[in-house]
Amino acid sequence: MPRLVKRYFCLLWQQRTMATLGLLLATITAISGIALLAVSGWFISATALAGLSIAGAHSFNYFAPGAIVRGLSITRTLGRYGERLTTHEATLRVISRLRAELFGELAKHSWQEQPLNNHDASSRLMEDIKHAEALYLSALVPGFVMLLCSLLYLITVSLFVPDIWIWLAPTLCIAVFFMPWLYMHLVLQPQDVLHQQRSQQWSSASSLFNNVRTLILFQRFTHSTQQLQQAASTADYSEQQASRAQQHVMSLSQLILAVQVLVMLWQGLLALSYGYIEGAHLFMLLLLTLGVQEVILTGVNSLANFGLGYTALKRIDYLASNISKKDQRQFVSADATVIKVTQLSYHYPQRQTLIIDKVNTELSAPHWYWITAPSGHGKTTFLHLLMGHLQPSDGTLLIEKSSAEQIGLMPQKIDLLRGTLRYNLCLHQQHSDETLQETLRLVELEHWFQQLPDGFDSWLGEGERMLSGGELKRLGLARLILQDPQILLLDEPTAGIDQLSAARILSKLHHHWKGKLVIINSHDSSLSCSTDKALTLNQLAEGVSEVQKII
């Protein structure tokens, strides 16, 4: 059994009192509903028969059945309220724990390795979580009620008409087991595929709208809209198929239930002709059959929902167990900050070729290392391995006299958060205005800062004040300066900044980060200082690379 399925039932077990009470009340509600229909039907027909003669009308006991009908009606109402309270409470408790655990696991996801954050994948995930959460409320409760009511129905009718269960059991089994299976395969699974198609369509449409200008510029707009239309008509066709299948399955269900009523009527009439039962009882049994069928019709979806929920949990489990890799970097105490890389190899899960292959090197503070290599040769990948965002396929990364918190990365692409400049610089940390001003001076953003209307409280981001490419890089550097880690990893820190400014900023940072270990990915090693060291990532053969210390 998949780990998450076990975990789900474990969480449900923790709420067993509430969940069992919910099941019990749901069963009581359903049974009293069915009984109400049957007894009131019998009561009406028995009263009518009694009313045919004066003696019968006088001798008939109206009070007992009347009280039973009233009692059943009250039980059903109370049961329904109680059931809602308990089942919803239990579901809420299980869901909140399950969601917290799932999102906790997903937070460990290595976004570099699997692009889970794209619309298709996240929409699929949300749909799966929804199906999984519906397990108790939409599958277990109605499924349990359906099975129990069907069993009690068989026992009850057999008490009145012996051996009738032999005739009714096959149709009941088809309605209870085969129809949910059919419903899942013909209706729910195509609907699942449809959800995928619609979400792909949505992401293509949003990509189209976001890139209208580029597409028009390259004269590909008409082509893209045609593709979108094609995707839309495929999804429309799937939707038609799914709704047609749903109609067919529902008609088949009705047919099976009609057969069940006919079997009941046929066997009941036979029993009546042999004098085993009275007419009023036969009428009651027929109403009982109709009542049970209502429960079965709701239950059919529930067993199908169970299948969907189970598959969804299995899928999330697979995802979670494949993404939460343990940090393989080893941190040891020592006198100096050193990174020892031994036989380090890495390949992205989607690709078989190694991006980094058996790399051996030692990088120590207080030095600046410049990694230069042609584009696409794994420089960024190497930094993400050092940062712990990616885990090595092979080899070891030993980091001496430092901890995971003491390693900071300035990524190639600097994201601007929609918020104030202070928020964008501090990222939820506290720094005085003097420190922020000093930092802006280091990255030469002080002139830009002076033009801001509200100083550090000026809003930045889409629709507000945007920064140029070079200014964004400086903001990224400023964030790292404020974070102040022991080991600094800089990915293209000066791209987009003019050479003179870049040289000035780096010279200031050399002074500011004195004593630290700095590793830079850059295509412009001419900016390096005479004391810096260079590393080249040489691609030796297809997919084979090596870090080589050349100075």
Residue ranges binding ligand ATP (CB under 6 A):
112, 348, 350-351, 355, 373, 375-381, 521
Q: Kindly state the smallest distance separating residue 490's Cβ from ligand ATP, in Å.
A: 12
> Smallest distance, Å, CB 247 to ligand ATP?
44
Residue (350 or 530) nearer to ligand ATP, CB: 350
Closer residue to ligand ATP (CB): 19 or 489 = 489
- Please tell me what DSSP assigns to residue 205: H
Q: Residue type for 118, please?
A: N
Residue 124 Cβ, how far from ligand ATP at the closest point, in Å?
19
533: nearest Cα among 339, 334, 329, 374: 339
Q: Based on CB atoms, which residue is closest to ligand ATP, 110 or 156?
A: 110
- 400 vs 336: CA distance, rounded Å: 7
Q: In 390-526, where do the E strands start and end?
A: 394-400, 407-410, 419-420, 459-460, 487-491, 517-521
| DSSP notation for 51-98 | TTSHHHHHH---HHHHHHHHHHHHHHHHHHHHHHHHHHHHHHHHHHHH
The alpha carbon of 422 is separated from its chain's Cα centroid by a whole number of angstroms, namely 33
Of residues 292 and 355, the one with the C-beta less far from ligand ATP: 355
Q: Which is nearer to ligand ATP, 162 or 376 (CB)?
A: 376
Per-residue burial over 291-316, b = 16 or more CB atoms within 10 Å of its CB, e = otherwise: bbbebbbebbbbbbbbbbbbbbbbbb
Between 16 and 523, CB nearer to ligand ATP: 523
Nearer Cβ to ligand ATP (36/385): 385
Contact present, 422 and 362 (Cβ < 8 Å): no
Question: What whole-number distance in Å separates Cα of residue 227 and Cα of residue 285?
Answer: 58
CB of 526 to ligand ATP, least distance (A): 16
What gap in Å lies between CA 202 and CA 411, rounded to an integer? 29
- DSSP code at position 322: H
> Closest separation between CB of residue 508 and ligand ATP, Å?
25
CA dist 465 and 463 (Å) reads 7
At its nearest, how many Å lie between ligand ATP and the CB of residue 347?
A: 9
The least CB distance from residue 374 to ligand ATP, in Å, is: 7
